[in-house]
Structures are given as structure tokens and as C-alpha cells.
Amino acid sequence: MRNAITTSLFDLLKVGPGPSSSHTIAPMKAGFDFMQRLRALPKAQKALATTLEVRLFGSLAATGEGHGTRLAILAGLLGNLPDACRPDALSQTAAHQEACQLDCGEGITLPCSTKNIIFDAVQHNFEHSNTMIFRLLQGQVVLLEQMYFSVGGGFLRWPGWQEPSLGQPAYAYNTMASLKKQLAATGLPLHSLMQANEMALHGLSSQAITQKLDHLITVMEQSVLLGLKTKGLLPGFIGLQRKAAVMYAQAKQEQFQGAGFLKAINAYALAASEENAAGHCVVTAPTCGSAGVLPAVICMLKYHMGAEQQDLRDGLLAAAAIGFLCKHNASISGAEVGCQGEVGVTSAMAAAMLAYARGCPLQIAENAAEIALEHHLGLTCDPVGGFVQIPCIERNAMGAVKAYNAYLIASTLDASYQRVDFDKAVAAMAQTGHDMSHKYKETSEAGLAQSMAEC
């Protein structure tokens, strides 16, 4: 099959600092990568360098300040990588952001601060909206230049970037229809097919996949537990109060019954999203901005619905299939298609996970994902002040509740009632996202970001 999905589960779902995978994880990787290129220069050449400059474009320029992009780049330049850095790496970098020394290798250092990282044009003609240009300079003379694109979900690309050579998927697919054909032909359950593809494409053993899945589940659960314990204000000028702990206390008081059950879902999603907004480590699921929904569902399944660890692993593999299809055929970037690509996609992933982990047939999981995605279509991305706080945090809670409701609708009704299939919902998301004004795609130029600014 041409154009089969080859993304790794562990590229889609990965650990890194919030608050925005496009704005923190990929930029941190870019900073790290540029330093590798710089260090590889001949000593005589890098010794000439007087400064390093980074220019940010698109939504990185529009909302990079609130998203901590400069800190993430600086942390990357200083040698941090998202999946290996301390949970509070951005706060650590902020403490000495005015006077850092970059290690250029061979005993050469270069002073650098967040002032070297410049917010440039929001509108531009580069091939991707979130563009970064790194330059090593001797005065005005460019010694080394590299352009990078943050393409959503923490993925980093650059001109001439080529997909690393991979194995062939054991079972190629690129739509839900072709995935279902493979499942029907092989008789495999979805989670086994996903695992077989991960092994074939990326050479991981089944034991390694299990360990990595468990690590993701642990980090997601920890982000909820930490968020439930923490009170106070989130960083930034908005002065936004954390709400998860209060919501959870009420849910507990109501013994998680009736509205207390819904309050628990909300509290779990708020907790992980608040941790993300604080710049702490979360799992991109599929992005940082949407990092609260899958953890909420994991906690619901584990604490309130009797799910075992294997159910969670299998459910996560089903969720990943949904995320892959959205990424492959539309986008998971708020900067490209608005929030339908972030909270909409994660809500669809979570709905499928709920259904699959609860033992529903695949058709019910697909229907749940379709319902969740369909009812996020057209959702704008308009973060107030560029912070991943309003509307993002509550939007995750709404996405988690919608995922649960989509699962209820899909699992209660006969699957044959469903008239819209998942591929059609993804196509509608791609078209809607394409038609949306750029103002509603993570620029903070419209929507709530605008009306709040005018208050």
C-alpha cells in the first residue's frame, strides 16, 4: 500500500514538558539539534562566532511568549531533551535565562539568553506555519543557519527532512476502512495488529512495547495525581486558579456517584491539564494542549470501572490507532486545523479507548471515536494571552466528558444505527480546518483571546 501509516506509537504519545508540544517539545528538540550541528563545525569556524540568534514565525511568534517557547529553546540549546529532562526543566532554565553559556565543544562557549530568541512575523510564506530559523553569527556574517518546522504534536522537521528508513508495516493501512479490512482478513484484534506494526516498523520487542506503554500510563496517571494535590495560581498574567483539587474533593464527598462521577472525570482532566499549563512533564496525547483527556479516561477506567493494566495497554493501542488516522489524514495541530485537531482528536482517542478497554467490539470503538470527533468539528483554537490555560484546561475536561458520552451513545445503541463512519469525520475535520481563518488557529488573534483582551 502506498502512503501507509508508519508513525510510531511512541512518537505520537511521548513524555515532555508542557504547556504546548508545538511550542515547547519540538522547539526544545530544535535547540538540542542545532547545538549538535554547531558542535560538529570545525573548531576554527565556531571560534569566530559572536552570537546565536533564533527567529520564530507563525504561531510560535504570536503565542510563543505564553507557551514558554523561548525557555524551551534555551533549555534545548543547553542540552535538554524532552523525554529525558527533569520534570521542572523549564522552571530551572527560567531561573538563569538571562545569562547562559552554551557549550559549543572543544572548550568554546557562547553567551546566550532568551533575548537571543526573537518573535518575528506571524504571517509568512514558509512552507509550515510554525517555523524557526537558527543562526550562528560572526557579527552580521552567518556561520551556520538551520530552519526547522514544528509540525504539531512535538514533531520536528526541516527542509530536506526525510522519514527515517523504517521496516514495512506488518499490516498496512491508512484509513479506518483499510484498517478494518486488515483486521477482518487476519482475524487479529486491533491491539495485536497495532503491536505487530510497532514491532515491524520500529524494531521493538513486545516486552519493550509493554514497558513503554506502562511508562506512558504511569506518567499520565502521575500528572493527574500531582495535579489533584496542587492548589494555587498557574503561571502567567491571567492569574488562573487551579480547580482540579476542589472538583475532586467534591466528587469524593459525593462518593463518585451521580454528578460526583462526572466531577471525577472533570477533576482528572483538569489536573493533568493544569500540570501541563504549569510547564511540568506530561504525555502528549496527542499534544500537550490536549494532555488531560486520556489521563482522565485512564483514571476513570482504573479507579472507577475496574480496568486492569492489560485493559489500559490495549485501550491505549486502540486510542493510538485513532490518533494515527487523524494525524495522517487531517492534522493534530491547533495551528493547522484549530482545536478540533487537538481536543477533538484526543476526545475521539479517549472514546475509542473507553470502548475498547471495556471489551466493546471494534465497531463500537470506531463509532465512539466518530461521535466524539464529529461533535468537536469547527472548534477554534484561541488561547487567551497565548497561554495554554483559557480555554484549554476546561476544554480538556469537556473533551473527557464528551469522550465518555460518546462511549455511552456508541455502546448503548445498535452499531448499525451509525450513519457517519470515522473516515468521513476525519475528512470533515481536514476540510473544516483548511477553511478556518488563520485567526482561529493558535494565533490568539480572535475568539476568546480577542474578547478577553478587550475586557
Scanning residues 298 to 337, which ones bind ligand SF4 (CB under 6 A)? Answer: 334
- Quick check: 26 binds ligand SF4 (CB under 6 A)? no
- Quick check: 342 binds ligand SF4 (CB under 6 A)? yes
- Single out the residue of 442, 443, 444, 445 in contact with ligand SF4 (rule: CB under 6 A): 442
Residues 77 and 112: beta-carbon distance below 8 Å? yes
**Shortest Å distance, C-beta 442 to ligand SF4:** 5
Nearer to ligand SF4, 93 or 290 (CB): 290
Scanning residues 388 to 427, which ones bind ligand SF4 (CB under 6 A)? Answer: 388, 391-392, 395
- Single out the residue of 343, 349, 371, 410 in contact with ligand SF4 (rule: CB under 6 A): 343
Span interacting with ligand SF4, options 45-53, 211-219, 228-236, 338-346, rule CB under 6 A = 338-346
Cα–Cα distances in Å, from 185 out to 5, 179, 181, 182, 244? 18, 10, 6, 5, 45
- Single out the residue of 153, 154, 169, 289 in contact with ligand SF4 (rule: CB under 6 A): 289
List, as own/partner pairs, every contact residues 259-262 make where C-beta atoms lie below 8 angstroms and the sequence separation is at least 24, other chains included: 261/304, 262/401, 262/404
Q: What is the dihedral of CA 21, 24, 27, 30, to 10 degrees?
A: -90
- Quick check: 381 binds ligand SF4 (CB under 6 A)? yes
Nearer to ligand SF4, 153 or 315 (CB): 153
**Shortest Å distance, C-beta 129 to ligand SF4:** 13
**Shortest Å distance, C-beta 252 to ligand SF4:** 27
Cell representation of residue 328: 495522517
Cell representation of residue 85: 529532562
- Quick check: 281 binds ligand SF4 (CB under 6 A)? no
Backbone φ/ψ region at 285: left (φ over 0), alpha (ψ -120 to 50), beta: beta
- Least Cα distance to 429 among 309, 347, 306 occurs for 347
Q: What share of the chain is helix, strand, coil (3-state, %, to 5)?
A: 55, 10, 35
Nearer to ligand SF4, 336 or 370 (CB): 336
**Shortest Å distance, C-beta 149 to ligand SF4:** 18
Q: Give the span between the Cα atoms of 276 and 304, in whole angstroms.
A: 24
Q: Identify whether 286 is preceded by a cis peptide bond (ω within 30 of 0).
A: yes
User: How many CB atoms sit inside 10 A of residue 452's CB?
Assistant: 16
**Shortest Å distance, C-beta 335 to ligand SF4:** 8
**Shortest Å distance, C-beta 289 to ligand SF4:** 3
**Shortest Å distance, C-beta 372 to ligand SF4:** 15
- At 226 the three-state DSSP class reads helix
Nearer to ligand SF4, 279 or 383 (CB): 383
> Which residues of this protein are in contact with ligand SF4, per CB under 6 A?
289-290, 334, 339, 342-343, 381, 383, 388, 391-392, 395, 442
